[in-house]
Structure 1
């Protein structure tokens, strides 16, 4: 089960709204949705969690590029909402590299300088360039100035969204949309 909410910091404090992500297909769509939730260039946090699997925080400050943190990239990669957050940039991939560069293939189907998948000991090589790492990715300092340190963010677990809201002083506001 998923939960997604927007928290917008206004001069009167935090305002929360639940959000449907059904029409959101890209990070850009998500950022636009967040920006539309506040009339000013206030800080907006998009909090997304899948019970006991992963959570993500997207921070939008005015027209700045979104900042992203995902608690477990591999778990999020198995989720349609997680895939929105796991951009090539966040994962350290070259967006131009789609893995289908036929010019780099030798006649035997391997890339230049690669073996055919068998290591020197005859066993299959592990890992892939497109493998998504297990564990956190992104900006661990995303909430530092709001009272959630890197260490605290990395230690959050099953009820992370509630714990973040508590630290921001927005737990009652968040509960109104939960």
Structure 2
């Protein structure tokens, strides 16, 4: 089960709203959803799956979204987590194999070592740990060290540090 919420910073402070992610298929969809919540202000999207992982997406106006995922391996096994990890780790759209000009005749990228066997499970492996921009909330009062140390009930702790604990709990 997922919990997803948007925290939008306004002139009057933080406003929270729970959100449905049913129509979200890409990070761009998620960023558009966040931008609809406010006018060129900071929006932080919280996504959590039953304490297994959490993800943060920060959208500042029209800037590119910044992403942090607490446990990439766990997140990659879920549909919404896969959207975030694909963005951070490079997904199909960023795959150099999609550019035929960059490939040698044997199908490998120029200068890329050729695999030694067909059963190489390490290629494409997702790390079991945090990935992304661990500094995305530093200017809002959540230093990198604190973010990396969070595990259970992380979203509540982050919201408290932002001064938005009560508004997040109201939508939870």
TM-score interval, normalised by the smaller of the two chains? 0.7 to 0.9
Q: Deviations over 1:41-73 (max 9, x none)?
A: 110000001122110000000000000000111
Residue 127 of structure 1 corresponds to which residue in structure 2? 122
Q: Counterpart of 1:104 in 2: which secondary structure?
A: coil
RMSD, matched Cα: 2.5
Number of the residue aligned with 1:148: 142
Runs (4+) of structure 1 exceeding 4 A deviation are: 98-102
Alignment of 1:27-66 (within 5 A): 27-38=27-38, 40-66=39-65
TM-score, length basis structure 1: 0.84
1:91 equivalenced with 2:97 (yes/no)? no
Write 1 or 2 for the structure with the bigger share of helix: 2
What corresponds to 1:12 in structure 2? 12
Name the structure 2 match of 1:169.
163
User: Which protein has the larger Cα radius of gyration, Structure 1 or Structure 2?
Assistant: 1
Cα offset, 1:141, TM superposition = 0.4
- Structure 1 runs not aligned, ≥5 long: 107-111, 119-123
| Cα distance change of structure 1 residues 114 and 47 upon mapping to structure 2, 3 Å threshold | same
Is the 1:143–1:149 Cα contact (8 Å) retained in structure 2?
yes
- 1:51–1:11: structure 2 CA closer, same or farther, 3 Å change rule? same
Name structure 2 gaps, 5 residues minimum. none
The 1-side partners of 2:47 and 2:60 are apart by: 18
